[in-house]
Structure 1
Amino acid sequence: MGNSESRQTVTASRPPLAKLHIAVLMGGWSNERPVSLMSGEGVAEALEERGHKVTRIDMDHSVAARLAEAAPDVVFNALHGVPGEDGTVQGMLDLMGIPYTHSGLATSVIAIDKELTKQALVPHGIPMPGGRVVHRDELHAADPLARPYVLKPVNEGSSVGVAIVTANSNYGNPISRDVRGPWQEFEELLAEPYIKGHELTVAVIAGPDGPRALTVTELVPKSGFYDFDAKYTDGMTEHVCPAQIPEHIADLCKSYAVQAHKALGCAGTSRSDFRWDDEQGEQGLFLLEVNTQPGMTPLSLVPEQAKYCGMAYGELVEAIIADALARTGGKADGADGERSGRNG
């Protein structure tokens, strides 16, 4: 099994980015705070190396006042999870008239909710797993689906709170209230059939000629499955980039990722995560979710795929900012533009 995909270089078709004052919004109080801090610091350092003025803002409840005082040309939104990824911060920035990176309010509201994402994407012919939303109390009475199945929070990212319930799991049958799991933290969970096989992901980057998929990476955890710890602990997961899968499966992944990016109205960059059961061929490929604000840490997948395609980390960061400014009439190429505050 191999992917004969030829490496395509990502070329910058925009003029050089003017020197800007950029506020990097990071941290916050979600479960993904540590990841966001790493993403934000990486972005800030790359921008400073390229001559931009950077104001680092660790998200707290005074964020609006701090942004007003800083008065940046644009905000790089490096937040992950609520409230930086669910439309809350996007709405605030819209009201303040400050351009910002990544997706806008409506897209963020839909994409962070896995059930809403299904409702938006399945009608476009993008295959996603079945399943249903269950209240945690239901789990302790009977299984919502035949085992094995997956339980995940409806509106969290980075595989936070994901559990795989198998016939031989130590969760009990039915699931015990006393056993540690996402049912202790989240009131509602999405139950989906477990799809065996390969964990695949595709980065999509917006550009002047429209969004394009970069490549496909396969994620191979050293043990267990690709959960939060496997994502962000060095050495716990092997990234096979590009994935060694048939070319037609790689092309299908990239096609679905671009379709999802467009259908949801994503901006800047997105990352689509898939599971593929190779015994089922094309029928075994399912989109799991679309991340509208993928990580930008040293272990993150979007920078890794961009590098494979010939785009340095700093170029990637500037391309995301240029996209935000192009959509809002901001200052991108040295000329001052009228700032509209509309994004996504």
Structure 2
Amino acid sequence: MNDNKKRFGKVAVLYGGWSAERPVSLKSGAQVLQGLLEAGVDAQGIDAGRDIIDVLKAGHYDRVFNIMHGRGGEDGVIQGALELLGIPYTGCGVMASAISMDKLVTKRLWLGMGLPTPNYRVLTAESDFDAVVAELGLPLMVKPVKEGSSIGMTKVKEANQLAAAYHKAAECCPVVIAEQWITGQEFTAGILDLTPLPLIRVEVPGEFYTYDAKYISNETQYHCPCGLTPALEAQLQQLALSAFQAVGGSGWGRVDMMLDNKQRPWLIEVNTNPGMTDHSLVPMAARQAGMSFSQLVVKVLETTLV
């Protein structure tokens, strides 16, 4: 136990923040803090506000476990501040965080590298919505490009629903995309120090993996082992790692993907600070790999050691 205090020094666990994902981050932070304390780490929880730089300076912390979700915490902003302060931190750096938080930039990067991701169109208030439907087909997924946890997303099943879905997403973020709907199975791959964790197959009771399905419902089913053949699972794990490295990912993260009915994979998004609540996926995958939650958070923290 004392070894972890010596190895890591004084650790600030940053959670909360000011994004729409604040409630989830508060839960993640509480879990992470408890896990680190159980491992004997000298950790202190901080509900991050706009004065976070002053708080970190005053606290004389040796490193940061960043578990803030969404804008401010997962988009390169806090990462840039920590770089200026010279404090090592968990998760991706400034560039990878900024890219991954922007679903549009991520998709453009993947497409430029020949990685499979669903076709899309950027929507504006002046968009010809009928033309978008004609090109991409129905159903469609409409999403704000800089929100996580499925906030602001809508599955559009009829053409006359697209305008309303756009306006709902635009309330969360000025840039909105409509994405080709993929029918098939949903998988997620945790990445820990550039090693993929066992895949999880997510089975949701509703239309898609909504906020409620992620954090509230007890009807969502998680399958780990995922049920794929070892060869196919390994193929998807490698694709997830390639997608993570494409955005410059480091430390840890999670890649979400679909496997369509013809067994073709499609990359959906990268999460650079995945949820760590009792409903979250990376801890489930870590358990399958033989790691307790406390061991997992210590391994994440180890990625800050230089």
Query: Please, what TM-score do these two structures have when normalized by structure 1?
Result: 0.82
Q: Does 1:154 align with 2:134?
A: no
**In 2 relative to 1, CA 179–315 (structure 1 residues): closer, same or farther, beyond 3 Å?**
closer
Post-superposition CA distance 1:126-156 (Å, at most 9, x none): 2111112111442767645322111111111
Q: State which of 39, 44, 47 in structure 1 corresponds to 2:36.
A: 47
The answer for the alignment partner of 1:164 in structure 2 is 155
Q: What SS class does the counterpart of residue 325 from structure 1 fall into?
A: coil
CA drift of 1:120 comes to 2.2
Q: Quick one: distance in 2 between partners of 1:201 and 1:139?
A: 33
The answer for the alignment partner of 2:169 in structure 1 is 182
The answer for the alignment partner of 2:186 in structure 1 is 199
Q: Does 1:276 align with 2:255?
A: no
Q: Quick one: distance in 2 between partners of 1:131 and 1:111?
A: 17
The answer for the alignment partner of 2:99 in structure 1 is 110
Q: State which of 81, 85, 88 in structure 2 corresponds to 1:99.
A: 88
**In 2 relative to 1, CA 179–154 (structure 1 residues): closer, same or farther, beyond 3 Å?**
closer
Larger Rg: 1
Q: Quick one: distance in 1 between partners of 2:166 and 2:101?
A: 27
Give the root-mean-square deviation of aligned CA atoms.
2.1
CA drift of 1:236 comes to 3.2
CA drift of 1:187 comes to 2.8
Q: How does 1:1-344 map to 2 (within 5 A)?
A: 18=7, 20-138=9-127, 143-144=132-133, 145-167=136-158, 173=160, 175=162, 177=164, 181-206=168-193, 211-278=194-261, 280-281=262-263, 284-326=264-306
Q: Quick one: distance in 1 between partners of 2:165 and 2:148?
A: 25
Q: Quick one: distance in 2 between partners of 1:178 and 1:120?
A: 25
Instruction: Tell me the matched-pair count.
Output: 301
Unaligned runs of at least 5 residues, structure 2: none
Identity of aligned residues (%): 36
Q: Quick one: distance in 2 between partners of 1:80 and 1:112?
A: 10
CA drift of 1:162 comes to 1.3
Q: Quick one: distance in 1 between partners of 2:20 and 2:26?
A: 12
CA drift of 1:178 comes to 9.6
Q: Quick one: distance in 1 between partners of 2:66 and 2:273?
A: 8
Higher relative contact order (CA 8 A, sep 6+): 1
CA drift of 1:185 comes to 3.7
Q: What SS class does the counterpart of residue 68 from structure 2 fall into?
A: coil
